[in-house]
Amino acid sequence: MPTSQPASPVFTAAGRHALALVAREARADGVREVLAPRVRCTAMTTPFELEGLHVTDVDCAPSGLLAPGALAAALAACDRPPLILHAETFGNRADGELRTVLAAARSTGARIVVDATHTALERAEELLTDAGPGTGAADLDNADYLVASLRKLLPIPLGGVVHGLVRPAAPTGDELNADLAAVAAIAERHRDVPVLKDAVEDLLDLAWAPAPMPGPYRARLAAPGLGGKLTRRRARLARLHAAVADLDVINPGAAYQPVIAHPQAAAIRTALARAGFSPPLHWPGVTDGLVVLPDDPRAAAIARRAAGPTALREALAAGEASGPAEPFDFDAFISSKTPKTAGLPTG
Ligand SMILES: Cc1ncc(COP(=O)(O)O)c(C=O)c1O
């Protein structure tokens, strides 16, 4: 774990930039390996790979969080203390067992990075705490770094933050980051042109050098109206959760879109796409069995309709599988249909 008191948070243009700052500090301190959840997107680990750290995949529990047993096994295989990327995926928080494994790992020198991108609504206050030098920092709750992409759940198109850096360096960015900020501003003015939003994502996939959060977005996060906006968003999400509470929701009660596990998840996603809803998150190959519900009551109704026929199919399949079928005796069937008079002499 880092040796001295953490300094102020650093606000960046994206979550990956915040992770890059963690990667640089850890690398400089001799860390060479990151244990990362298998349920993730590439932007969460590329910053570490760019700094030359090895990324080891760790299996996840159905909640999407690191599975405690798999994490303990991965730790046992490390030859020096690694950095553990603990993402609060889908707004889920570590429970007792995972917390225990994380705390034990930290006590033996592993560094814990909490990725609070999906808990940013719940943790907004602590994430946005802008402690000046000497005024203390956010309570990291038994972690070394608290990181988030703020642009996913908070009302800004670019933004990330990292708390806990011991040697925070002001990110400088490069020309690409200037383009990124310009295109993000245009995309926000023309929300009806989705390709502009895609252009922002494409630029982010090139602009890995940590850049500062553009000033106007810092100001928006400090504006007095933000609290009310976040409260309304949380309330809307709570209603959405209530609307699908009877389905197999893997993040019940989270301040995040409901995530539904369903055998026909792909068909439900297609039904939503046909109705004009793009998924808030889909990581191909990782979340294929899940549907992350768009934040709209109509989406809940569409998902429910698309999920419905499957329940019937499953019931039929369960009925078919409820016992061994009698082998069908074709000859007996034919002879039962043959007229009893057949073959008798006539006339
Ligand atoms: C959990 C999580 N962390 C970090 C990131 C990276 O954030 P950004 O895209 O702002 O760089 C993402 C992006 O999808 C994410 O889902």
User: DSSP H helical segments within the chain, as ranges?
Assistant: 15-28, 46-50, 68-76, 96-107, 124-128, 175-189, 194-204, 215-222, 226-243, 265-274, 297-320, 330-337
Name 249's Cβ contacts closer than 8 Å, sequence gap at least 6. 241, 258, 259, 260, 261
pLDDT at 136 over 90: no
| CA-closest candidate to residue 298, choices 240, 249, 233 | 240
Distance from chain centroid for Cα 18: 16
| CATH at 236 | 3.90.1150
Asked if residue 150 and residue 283 are part of one domain, the reply reads no
- Is the same domain home to 156 and 235? no
Q: Are residues 272 and 140 in the same domain?
A: no
Residue 200 domain-assigned (yes or no): no
Write down which residue in 162, 188, 221 finishes a domain: 221
Gap from CA of 67 to ligand 1 centroid (Å): 20
Centroid of ligand 1 to alpha carbon of 243 (angstroms): 27
Q: What are the pLDDT digits (tens) for 5-43?
A: 556 899 999 999 999 999 999 999 999 999 999 999 999
Same domain, yes or no, for 161 and 249? no
Contact call for residues 167 and 22 (beta carbons, < 8 A): no
Tokens for 289, please give them: 């069995």
CA of 158, closest atom in ligand 1: 10
pLDDT grade, residue 341 (50/70/90)? very low
Rounded (5°) CA angle 242-289-306? 60
Residues with Cβ within 8 Å of 169's Cβ and at least 6 positions away in sequence, in order, are: 10, 21, 24
Q: How far is the CA of 334 from the centre of ligand 1 (A)?
A: 66
Question: Does 273 lie in the same domain as 132?
Answer: no
Q: Tell me whether residue 250 is in a domain.
A: yes
Among 65, 90, 114, 149, the mutation site with the greatest number of ligand 1 atoms within 8 A of its Cβ is 149
* Residue 155 counted as domain residue: yes
Nearest ligand 1 atom, CA 87: 1
pTM: 0.86
Render 76-118 in DSSP notation, one character per residue.
HT-SS--EEEEE-GGG----HHHHHHHHHHHHTT-EEEEE-GG
In a domain, 84, yes or no: yes
pLDDT at residue 162 tops 90: yes
Say yes or no: 23 and 164 in one domain.
Answer: yes
The residue type at 47: P
Distance 201 CA to ligand 1 centre (A): 11
Q: Which atom of ligand 1 is nearest to the CA of 152?
A: 10
- Count of structural domains, the chain: 2
In a domain, 2, yes or no: no
Residues 161 and 290 in one domain: no
Task: Give pLDDT, residue 344.
Answer: 44
Is residue 193 in some structural domain? Answer: no
Pocket around ligand 1: residues whose beta carbon is below 6 Å from it? 14-16, 41, 43-44, 87, 115, 117-118, 149, 151, 160, 204
The answer to whether position 125 is within a domain reads yes
| 230 and 124 Cβ atoms separated by less than 8 Å | yes
Of 221, 256, 280, the residue at which a domain comes to its end is: 221
CATH code: domain of residue 26 = 3.40.640.10
Q: What angle do CA 151, 162, 49 make, to 5 degrees?
A: 90
Question: Are the C-beta atoms of 254 and 65 separated by less than 8 Å?
Answer: no
Could you tell me the distance, in angstroms and rounded to a whole number, from the CA of residue 43 to the centre of ligand 1? 6
Residue type, 269: R
Alpha-carbon gap, residue 9 to 18, rounded angstroms: 10
Q: Which helix (H) or strand (E) holds 261?
A: strand 259-261
Ligand 1 centroid distance, CA of 205 (Å)? 11
Query: Do 166 and 244 sit in the same domain of this protein?
Result: no
Residues 125 and 256 in one domain: no
In this model, does residue 134 exceed pLDDT 90? Answer: no
Mean pLDDT of the chain: 88
Tell whether 56 and 135 lie within a shared domain: yes
283-306: per-residue pLDDT in tens? 999 999 999 999 998 999 999 888
Domain housing 287: 227-337
> Given a cut of 50, is residue 78 above it in pLDDT?
yes
Both 161 and 308 in a single domain? Answer: no
**DSSP strand pairing (145-149 vs 259-261):** unpaired
Which two structure tokens, joined as six digits, stand for 333?
Answer: 């069937």
CA of 89 from ligand 1 middle (Å) equals 11
Choosing from 117, 177, 282 the residue with most ligand 1 atoms within 8 A of its CB, the one to mutate for a pocket test is 117
Q: Give the residue whose CA is nearest to atom 2 of ligand 1.
A: 117
Count of C-beta atoms within a 10 Å radius of residue 103? 13
Q: Which amino acid is at 127?
A: L
Domain boundary among the residues 206, 221, 236 is at 221
Centroid of ligand 1 to alpha carbon of 284 (angstroms) = 15
DSSP one-letter code for 276: T
Partners of 259 in the β-ladder: 292
Domain identity same for 136 and 236: no
Which amino acid, one-letter code, is at 52? G
Query: What burial letters (b/e) apply to 282-321, b meaning 16+ CB within 10 Å?
Result: beeeebeebbbbbbbeebbebbeebbeebeeeeeeeeeee
- 314 close to 307: Cβ distance less than 8 angstroms: no
